[in-house]
Amino acid sequence: MIALIARYVTRPGLGDQVEAAIREMILLSRQEPGCRVYQVNRSVDNPDEFLLYEVYDDEGALKAHWQSPHFRRIIEETVVPLLERRERRFYRLVEP
């Protein structure tokens, strides 16, 4: 399994627009084969900051997510232009 932790910081005052787009993304991503978790949190202290937690079966499922029409439309075309900063970190599951 591979986990992705992403932090989005919008340009000032654009948090509501990003949240609206992400709400649709959540529903579509959770239907993808290989997507185990797609959870988005909005900061309590800064309404323009979001934390995304995603888990996929493997790198193939993650790549399929990035290539999906809804990812391109919602994230690349709608959300990214509204961001001031986007950070992504990838993690692999540690098993006993």
* Cα 75 from Cα 51, distance rounded (Å): 14
- Residue 77: the pLDDT is 97
- Residue 85: the pLDDT is 97
Query: Is the overall model pTM greater than 0.85, yes or no?
Result: yes
List residues bridging with 37 in a β-sheet: 55
Q: What is the residue-level pLDDT of the chain in tens, covering all 96 positions? A: 999 999 999 999 999 999 999 999 999 999 999 999 999 999 999 999 999 999 999 999 999 999 999 999 999 999 999 999 999 999 999 989
Domains of the chain: 2-90 (3.30.70.100)
Q: CA–CA distance from 22 to each of 9, 15, 32, 36, 57 (Å)?
A: 13, 10, 15, 17, 22
- Residue 91: the pLDDT is 97
- Strands (E) in the chain, as ranges, are 2-10, 35-42, 49-56, 83-92
The sheet that has 2-10: what strands, in order across it?
Answer: 35-42, 49-56, 2-10, 83-92
